[in-house]
Amino acid sequence: MIRFNHLTGSLSGSSIDLDKRSLRVGTSGDCDLRYDLDRDTEVGHYHAAVVLKEGAYHVLDLGQAGGVWVNGERVQSRALRSGDRIRFGGDGGPEAEVAVVLDPNYDAAKDAREMVEAFRVRSTSRETKALRLVEAAAGRVAEERARAGGTKSRRTMEVMATTMHEVGDLMRTQTRKRWVRIVGAVVGVSAVIIAGLGLIIYQKQKQIDQLLDAKSGFDQQIQAIQVQMDAERDSLRLVILERQLQEAQANAVRTLADLARTDKARAAAVAESGDELDREIRAILRQFDAETYAVPPIFKERLAYHIEQLQRAGPTARIIYRRKVKYWPKIAAEFKALELPEVMAYVAWTESQFNPYARSSAGARGMWQMTRTTAQSLGLRVDGSVDQRTDVSKQTRAAAKYLAGLLAEFGEDAFMLAMASYNKGENGVRRVLRQVARTPGGFKKSKRDFWHLYRLKLLPEETREYVPKILAAAIVCNNPQKYGLLRADSGADSLADSAQAAR
């Protein structure tokens, strides 16, 4: 149960007891803790939530103006203890003092008496001053437990340690023997507490270590399976390995979830482990809700290779980057209009190096390398007198429309499949998906995403190489200083740029 003793605002002077695991705070009629809409103007309709989790009530800010304040500090989430003062909204918002009772049967006075009695049993001392110190300490411990809602307080050891020093100072003026006996008794009481806390900490750490060992074992299994898949060419064997991989990944994900329930910080650190390239890949995949537990090693290897190639390109890469910077505002505007992620625009780096006049041997033209048929199907004029494929704005608008259509067909999280389609053609990818659909469970999302097709080698080699090329360009351009794209122009760069522009 949690009690709100209202200090200011429309509910000032009243107390409200709420015995729920989750409650809402605001001015809306269905809020559990409802403030007056006209008088408490700082409070939003749904301003905050209070939820019971992990043995404590937590207040959560729901993003309203003015925020939530606990003891004068603005918070997004905070565990509440008895005596905390909470304000909803900015200056002038209503304030309340909370009282938390998680164990309604908790008797602080009884708990204090039992702690003192434990001290008396262990001690034969008659030093009344020392006993008074212990009684005071037991009272403070019981008070802290009451403030925590009748649960164990983290301040128990702090209080007992302070008491040990106080007793020690008191008894140093008396005989050495009695001083040792009294302090020893206090140490004995504290030792019981330390032993209990130590056992809890030990058991928790043991559980964490077991989970980490289990996850490490699954990760090694995943790595071994992926290495086998990279080398395998037999389609039936690949399907068997894929099933083993999915099972190992499911076990790893469950283990990570168990770890998060035990130690959220450790689980988060483990989930973000890996090198810088791993973090770069995860950041891109998160934009599309396309995360995978384990990126195939060969994909990461090819991605690293293409990043290295761009770094080695030197002046050429800097020329392309300057061209990208020149046209990027137009590209970004067209992609934003259709809410397309900008990372997909790096298709233009791979297709034409951002050259509006590029031509291919197959007759494709423009920054987005469209054939006459594709361009005309997307509304561009291509005839004997006009070729709108060289118009950056118009062709980019057509390319954005084309990519948006692919995402609509394959799904937002299949952005890599959409980019693969740009290279292979959507009909080629559709044929692959129809082939997969003829296998057991082939209609499922897990079997229709890029990673599944990539691991089973169902995409042609050119397409398998196309996607890491695009992501390499995105990673390099997102950090141009690091990858050498912002070096001062040299004479060679200028001459090369002039030559490129003249083509």
> Over its length of 503 residues, how does the chain's per-residue pLDDT go in tens digits?
888 999 999 999 998 988 877 788 888 877 889 999 889 999 988 788 887 776 688 888 877 888 999 999 998 888 888 889 999 998 889 999 998 876 555 555 665 565 555 555 444 444 566 566 666 666 666 565 555 545 444 455 455 555 555 555 555 555 444 444 544 555 555 555 555 555 566 677 778 878 888 888 888 888 888 888 888 888 888 888 888 888 888 888 888 888 888 888 888 888 777 778 888 888 888 777 677 777 888 888 899 999 999 998 889 999 999 999 999 999 999 999 988 888 899 999 999 999 999 999 888 999 999 999 999 999 999 998 899 999 999 999 999 999 988 888 887 667 888 888 887 667 778 888 888 888 877 777 777 788 888 888 888 888 888 889 999 999 999 989 988 888 655 444 443 444 444 34
**Ranges of each domain in the chain:** 2-100, 108-202, 299-502
Q: How far is CA 391 from CA 107, 209, 369, in A?
A: 80, 60, 12
> End-to-end CA distance of the chain, in Å?
76
Helices 297-312 and 461-478 cross at an angle (nearest 10°) of 60
Question: Hey, what long-range contacts does 484-489 have (CB within 8 A, 24 or more apart)?
Answer: 484/311, 484/314, 484/317, 484/318, 485/317, 485/318, 485/321, 486/318, 487/318, 489/318
pLDDT value for 444: 77
Tell me the one-letter amino acid at 417.
L
Is it true that domain 299-502 has CATH number 1.10.260.40? Answer: no
Tell me the one-letter amino acid at 166.
E
**The pair of three-digit structure tokens given for residue 343, joined into one six-digit string:** 């990372």
| Of the options 3.40.50.150, 2.40.30.40, 2.60.34.10, 2.60.200.20, the CATH number for the domain spanning 2-100 | 2.60.200.20
In sequence order, the β-bridge partners of residue 365 are: 359, 370
Q: Are strands 48-53 and 22-26 parallel, antiparallel or unpaired?
A: antiparallel
CB 4 within 8 A of CB 96: yes
pLDDT value for 320: 94
Say if residue 488 is exposed, middle or buried (CB neighbours under 10 Å; 0-12, 13-18, 19+).
exposed
CB 427 within 8 A of CB 374: no
Cβ neighbours for 399, distance < 8 A, ≥ 6 positions apart: 334, 347, 348, 367, 368, 370, 378
d(CA 111, CA 143): 10
pLDDT value for 116: 57
d(CA 422, CA 254): 36
3-state secondary structure of 469: helix
Domains 2-100 and 299-502 share a fold: no
3-state secondary structure of 431: helix
3-state secondary structure of 19: coil
pLDDT value for 162: 57
Q: Which helix (H) or strand (E) holds 16?
A: strand 15-18
3-state secondary structure of 408: helix
d(CA 148, CA 103): 10
Q: What is the largest CA-CA distance in the chain?
A: 112
CB 28 within 8 A of CB 47: no
pLDDT value for 396: 95
DSSP for residue 359: B
pLDDT value for 498: 41
Phi, psi torsion values for 382, nearest 5 degrees: -135, 105
d(CA 182, CA 176): 10
DSSP for residue 340: -
**The pair of three-digit structure tokens given for residue 269, joined into one six-digit string:** 């650190």
